Structure 1
Amino acid sequence: MRQFKYLLLGLVFFWGMSIQAQETGPIKVELVEQDGKWQLLRGGEPYYVNGVGGKDYLDQAAAYGANSLRTWSPDGAQEILDEAHSRGMTVLMGLWVGQERQGFDYDDPKSVKAQLEGFREVVKTFKDHPALLMWGIGNENDLFYSNFKVWNAIEDIASMIHEEDPNHPTMTVTAGLDVAEVQLIKERAPSIDIYGINTYAGLLGVGKELRQFGWDGPYMITEWGPNGHWEVPKTAWEAPIEQTSSQKAASYQERYNKGIAEDTDMCIGSYVFLWGHKQETTGTWYGVFLADGTETEVMDVLEHSWTGEWPKNRAPHINSFTMNGKNVTESIFTQQGDVCTINIDAYDPDNDKLDYRWELLPESTDIRSGGDAEAKPEAMDFKIIKEENGTLQFRAPLKKGPYRMFLVIYDGNGNAATVNIPFYVKGDS
């Protein structure tokens, strides 16, 4: 089973890197360009980034072929750098640049100066750690903003880093891609070495757009994964429709092969999102792990993309599903207390016995932007009339409103498939 593989490899990495972890001094990271083709070098050797966004599950990351991790701030930097180094991995160290949407004022010179000097101390403290790969200056500072001075502040931070740390390049990250931000970064932050892009459904067009918008340097895909909750079809009551884990796996595979690995001239790597678990619109939307550490079919695709090999035990696969005979895109309505029927067509590639677990939640109302923390709705009791394999008959809630029925299908070997179905309970007419 794959879990034994990562435990074994995790121990090998830990023992094998224990001596290296004692090393001091930086490993120089640099960018080289020849005939329009960019390459990242680490210690003089080519270094293509197959990275993970997050600091958890590092044994799995190393065992499955990832070589780097991304943070969004320097919180816990020493431990993260040490943990990465002990596994032969590097760190894109994030510097969380104040965001206008969160109240940071770029017309306040004292705040801007204090931020710069705070980052100077961070850089001086960690610049010589051998696991450091590069500095990520800010994340999506272009999200819901109007003060372009943020780019001047990012330039000052990047310039400071080049003065304090000549061994590691700088990057800033935007939410998707827009010609205005590309031009602003080029004009106001010329000390930025690498353009980082968080992109989901639009990933396949990023390389072409960057070139059209005038960027001729290297870039990285710093967050990528399933279709974002803002990019998908919605129900009649505006609930976004989440992909199944199997649909997500297909998206990850296509986006890596055709949107990341294919651009060998300018793309120097990527960080998949999210290497962990979080509540964002739903509790299953972005994480490649479930809350209990179980892995989804997305992990199969990532391991194959990074190593060229499929795991020996594969996750369950969902072919299709309906509720009351309707597809999820048909906006499923029911009446209070009505009997509802869900049918799931799923299978396991290894013929493992499948365990179906259902959970009913009201539609989340705590929807935020930019990945800010959200609260998960409380699960509800519901009346099960019949449950057999992939079929569930249950009574709709007595309270009108929007709901989601979640299903996790476990294979008993640390893998699972996920799907959720939004539906609306109507009141008496």
Structure 2
Amino acid sequence: MFSGCSESRYNQTERRVHIRKQNGKYVLYKNNKPFFIKGAGGSANLNLLKQLGGNAIRIWDTTNLGVVLDSAHANNISVIVGLPVQNSNVADMYQDPDRIAAQHRAFKKIVNRFRKHPAVLMWCVGNELDFPYGLSYNRFYRAYNDLTDMIHQDDPHHPVTTTVLNFNPKYIATLQIRCDIDLISFNIFSLLDTFRENLKHHLWLWNGPYMVLEWGIDGPWQGTMQTAWGAYIEKTSTEKAAIYGERYLRYMPLESQRFLGGFVFFWGNKQETTHTWFSIFDAEGRKTAAVKTMKYLWTGKTLNETFPEIKHMRVENRDAYQNIILVPNRKSQAEVTLLSSADSIKTIKWQIFKEDWFKKNNENSTRLLKPLSQLMKADQGLKAVFTTPAQEGPYRIFATVYDHKGNLATCNTPFYVLSTR
């Protein structure tokens, strides 16, 4: 158990949101009713989230927090509010008492302003922070613990958590020894298949309650297939919808006496290597097949809607795994093959983008890129003719397939332009 965390912490029933331990099982309660989390990361399309059986969202910062909380409450959705604490490795931050005090004041103001909002479920203090044990990090832990102590004192009605990337026994141990939070949360994607086994093997270390605050498809990071020039290869949205279902049903520890629920990533539209990689919706809020998967996972019922289904995409009769290299300023052809009927398709949007290489502090850019529209003819069908860019370098060609109901499917293929001169 956490140091300083007695069993009584999990049975303070007078609190609006609290965790109870009953007959060896941890249960989250909100307003004295059991609340098993069926959540999503993001703050868009909350009415649809509720219709599909979801009941919670997690957000990473406090931007427009009042608007997000009001919208969530209007849709009977609860919110885990992220407080974006500076990481322990930001040395100049934790060597500066004024910056530490400013961070503390800012979060104290937020907590006290919104602590009585009915949509608040928990506070998440930091996302994927590093929790090293070394004594050189004492200033970080002092600042971090001052924050969690402040929340426990000012808002005892909402538990405090933080997220750990994957299952990290060292960080779990440090959190128990050096911090005071109510439960641990995990962001875990490709390693979800080992999560259950890791939990079992480390019961001697920690046996408290937990959530999965991010889970989903593999991202554009180590372990994902790449081209020879290092461009990550993205699955089609049809493949992603199947992966969401398989991972949740096979690997999420739903039977665990300690598991309080999880949040699928990402309930909205965002740029991360591409604008489609994690996006369950397009920029206008139109749906991919992942929403049908989530309806089934959350309710056991099937959403009575169809979606375009993509079999594969090819450029010059080659797929993404074949390292497609093209010469500049040449006519080339791309083609999408469907699993579903072509009769249901209304439009196909073809776009070419430069590869998004930019990273800051080893994090992918979230800045949207502009398509190279001059290279692509408008109003093309399942086959498209395009002109390769004149400038050497890495690119991607995207196809977004819309049916007559506005539902969509996405795919893209990286290629490299190389001059023969």
Normalising by the residue count of structure 2, what TM-score does the alignment of the two structures yield? 0.87
Is the Cα contact below 8 Å between 2:273 and 2:365 reproduced in 1? no
1:360 aligns with 2:352: yes
Alpha-carbon offset, residue 387 of structure 1: 8.2
Matches of residues 233-252 of structure 1 in structure 2 within 5 Å?
233-252=225-244
Gaps in structure 1 of 5+ consecutive residues:
1-25
Q: Against the structure 1 CA distance between its residues 320 and 282, is the aligned structure 2 distance closer, same or farther, given a 3 Å change threshold?
A: same
- The aligned runs of 1:404-419 (5 Å cut-off) are 404-419=396-411
1:229 to 215, 220, 226: 220
Query: CA distance change for structure 1 residues 369 and 274 in 2, over 3 Å: closer, same or farther?
Result: farther
Match of 1:161 among 113, 127, 151: 151
Whole-Å Cα distance in 2 between the matches of residues 382 and 127 of structure 1?
A: 51
Candidates 174, 194, 198, aligned match of 2:187: 198
- Matched to 2:420, the amino acid is D
For 1:154 and 1:305, the matched residues in 2 are separated by 36
Contact 2:269–2:279 (Cα < 8 Å) also in 1? yes
1:383: how far off? Answer: 5.2
Residue 376 (str. 1) matches residue 372 (str. 2): no
Distance 1:181 1:163 in 2: 25
Tell me which amino acid in the other structure corresponds to 2:237.
S
Structure 1 residues 218 and 104: CA distance shift in structure 2, 3 A: farther
Equivalences for residues 31-42 of structure 1 within 5 A: 31-42=19-30
| CA distance in 2 between partners of 1:306 and 1:171 (Å) | 23
Task: Give the Cα–Cα distance (whole angstroms) in 2 for the partners of residues 110 and 339 of structure 1.
Answer: 59
* Distance (whole Å) between structure 2 residues aligned to residue 370 and residue 60 of structure 1: 34
Q: Is the 8 A contact 1:359 1:379 kept in 2?
A: yes
Equivalent position of 1:175 in the other structure: 165
Determine the C-alpha separation between the residues in 2 that align with 1:161 and 1:305.
Answer: 33
CA offsets 1:361-408 (integer angstroms, 9 cap, x no match): 111232346766532332114556898642223332232211100000
Match 1:215 to one of 202, 206, 213: 206
Please give the alpha-carbon distance, in whole angstroms, between the structure 1 residues aligned to 2:41 and 2:362: 15
Does the 8 Å contact 2:358/2:365 carry over to 1? no
Residues 40 and 48 of structure 1 are in contact (CA less than 8 Å); yes or no, is this contact kept in structure 2? yes
Percent identity among equivalent residues?
Answer: 31
Residue 53 of structure 2 aligns with an amino acid whose one-letter code is: G
Q: 1:53: Cα distance to partner?
A: 1.4
Asked if structure 2 preserves the Cα contact closer than 8 Å seen for 1:27 and 1:130, the reply is: no
Structure 2 stretches lacking a partner, 5+ long: 1-13
Partner of 2:87: 99
Which residue in 2 is equivalent to 1:303? 295
TM-superposed deviation, 1:74: 2.7
Quick one: distance in 2 between partners of 1:229 and 1:34? Answer: 41
- CA displacement 1:235-261 (0-9 Å, x = unmatched): 011111111111111121122222336
Match for 1:333 among 308, 325, 340? 325
Distance 1:427 1:235, change over 3 A: same
CA deviations over 1:303-343 (Å, ceiling 9, x no partner):
22112222222211111222222221121112223443323
1:397 aligns with 2:389: yes
2:88–2:137 contact (8 Å) kept in structure 1: no
Answer yes or no: is 1:56 the counterpart of 2:27.
no
Choose which of 29, 35, 38 in structure 2 pairs with 1:47.
35
Cα distance, 1:345–1:298 mapped onto 2, change above 3 Å:
same
Partner of 2:9: none
Per the TM alignment, residue 211 of structure 1 is displaced from its structure 2 partner at its CA by 4.3
Contact 2:214–2:263 (8 Å) recurs in 1: yes
1:5-20 paired onto structure 2 within 5 Å: none
The superposition leaves residues 93-144 of structure 1 with CA deviations (integer Å, 9 ceiling, x where unpaired) of 1111123566762233333233233322322222222221111111122299
Q: How many residues align?
A: 403
CA contact (8 A) 1:101 1:144 kept: no
Larger displacement relative to structure 2 (346-355 or 143-152): 143-152
Give the structure-1-normalised TM-score.
0.86
The residue identity in structure 2 corresponding to 1:408 is T
Counterpart residue number, 2:8: none
